[in-house]
Amino acid sequence: MTQPTPNSVANPQPEAPKPSGGDYDASSITVLGGLDAVRKRPSMYIGSTGHQGLHHLVWEVVDNSVDEALAGHCTHVVVTVHEDNSITVSDNGRGIPWMEHPKEKKSALEVVMTILHAGGKFEKSSYKVSGGLHGVGISVVNALSESLTVRVHRDGKEVAMSFSRGHVTQPFAIIGNSDKRGTIVTFKPDTSIFPETVYNADTLTSRLRELAFLNRGLTITLSDQRTQKERVFHYDGGIMSFVQELGKSKQPFHEVIYVSGERGDTMVEVALQYSEAYTESVYSFVNNINTHEGGTHLTGFKAALTKTLNAYATKVLKDAKDASLTSDDVREGLTAVISVKVPEPQFEGQTKGKLNNSCLLYTSDAADE
């Protein structure tokens, strides 16, 4: 008689696992349409639903206005904080196009406000460089606002639309004739998304002042109706004035050093100053976006600065050939601002905290120039 093999006794075939938490099949797959995905996972688009995300809504709208300034079409941006903590951002740029979109067969204004990845910054005929890259900024603000109204002065007309949580409440309409130009966006953050909707005046002031420094000649006004205070930011010195402001409480060793240049379509500005302080204060920006996590542009700056100072030390100090300064050494007491304008920046995520463009990494040839 045939005996069973050892494997057939020791390793019987396992039974099929029993469902532990309900069925998971094709009907379990949910497809979020329109702006529902933003409301379902807001932190993916604005970083958080706390203080950071609340203020990020303002930055998304303001950045659109500043992009108009980068393109040479805007000279003044006004940010108003109303008593109910709603926000109005107005500019004198070209205004969002409002004619019928050839593909969507609706106003281009509605397309921009309600469809993710719809915008004028994917091709470079309208904007050579910009901070808005993904076509999601203003539509995300719309999705996360309990109310939003946009008015546009363009092509001799004033037009308007209103929304609530991303849905149209007042359809596109031509209000009348206008000899002005620009865009006016008023929104109120959704209290069902944000547990706290009170805007911090210091946070707004810091970022708007920063943008004025980074865009020489641009005027930005912050009007806080809660306190009846108004501040106007305008700096003809650009990032040189920025470094002076950052170092005003320190004892500098020299005047601010300013360097600028272009390579291809990439523009770089650097302003720096050494002081008696032990700590460093280095800030980096890409297309006006504060890259607080750094990136390749900051890595390149640090490497180039270290190499340049070591090369100089070798020339002027006889004993410097056998010793070299480290990156930490050369940044002690340093205050610097690095601002780059890049046609196709590659950021880590929609909040754009870190730049990944490999072309901005330090090279020895670049440093030698």
36-80 pLDDT, tens digit per residue, is 888 988 888 888 999 999 999 999 999 999 989 988 899 999 999
Same domain? 255 vs 219 = no
Same domain? 71 vs 212 = yes
32 vs 184, residue with greater confidence? 184
In a 13 Å sphere around the CA of 23, the CA atoms on its Cβ side amount to: 4
Same domain? 211 vs 273 = no
Domain count, the chain: 2
3-class SS of residue 117: coil
Same domain? 263 vs 183 = no
Strands of 289-290's sheet in order across: 257-263, 266-274, 334-341, 281-286, 289-290
Same domain? 186 vs 71 = yes
Q: Domain range holding 178?
A: 36-233
Same domain? 131 vs 218 = yes
Which candidate, 181, 214, 225, places its Cα nearest to that of 87?
Answer: 225
Asked if the model's pLDDT at residue 291 lies above 50, the reply is yes
What's the confidence (pLDDT) of residue 104?
A: 81
Same domain? 215 vs 134 = yes
What's the confidence (pLDDT) of residue 367?
A: 43
Question: Could you tell me if residue 29 is inside a domain?
Answer: no
Question: Could you tell me if residue 5 is inside a domain?
Answer: no
CA distance 191 to 23: 35
Same domain? 159 vs 145 = yes
Question: Could you tell me if residue 12 is inside a domain?
Answer: no
Query: What rounded mean pLDDT belongs to the chain?
Result: 83
CB 114 within 8 A of CB 163: yes
Asked which of 77-81, 127-131, 188-192, 249-253 is least confident by mean pLDDT, the reply is 127-131
CATH assignment of the domain containing 74: 3.30.565.10
Average pLDDT value for residue range 286-294: 83
Average pLDDT value for residue range 120-131: 49
In a 13 Å sphere around the CA of 197, the CA atoms on its Cβ side amount to: 18
Q: Which amino acid is at 330?
A: V
Question: Could you tell me if residue 69 is inside a domain?
Answer: yes
Same domain? 82 vs 225 = yes
Same domain? 149 vs 274 = no
pLDDT tens, 103-114?
888 888 998 899
pLDDT band with cut points at 50, 70 and 90 for residue 369:
very low
Q: What is the DSSP secondary structure assignment for residue 55, as one 8-state letter?
A: H
What's the confidence (pLDDT) of residue 347?
A: 57
What's the confidence (pLDDT) of residue 366?
A: 43
pLDDT tens, 149-188?
999 999 999 999 999 999 999 999 999 999 999 999 999 9
CATH assignment of the domain containing 306: 3.30.230.10
Asked if the model's pLDDT at residue 127 lies above 80, the reply is no
Burial of 105 (0-12, 13-18, 19+ CB in 10 A): exposed
What's the confidence (pLDDT) of residue 51?
A: 95
Same domain? 96 vs 220 = yes
Same domain? 170 vs 271 = no
**Residues facing residue 112 across a β-bridge:** none
**Residues facing residue 192 across a β-bridge:** none
Question: Could you tell me if residue 17 is inside a domain?
Answer: no
Asked if the model's pLDDT at residue 262 lies above 90, the reply is no
Question: Could you tell me if residue 23 is inside a domain?
Answer: no
Among 202, 233, 264, where does a domain finish? 233
Question: Could you tell me if residue 180 is inside a domain?
Answer: yes
What's the confidence (pLDDT) of residue 28?
A: 58
pTM here is: 0.80
Among 211, 233, 255, where does a domain finish? 233
CB 235 within 8 A of CB 212: yes
Question: Could you tell me if residue 359 is inside a domain?
Answer: yes
Among 233, 252, 268, where does a domain finish? 233
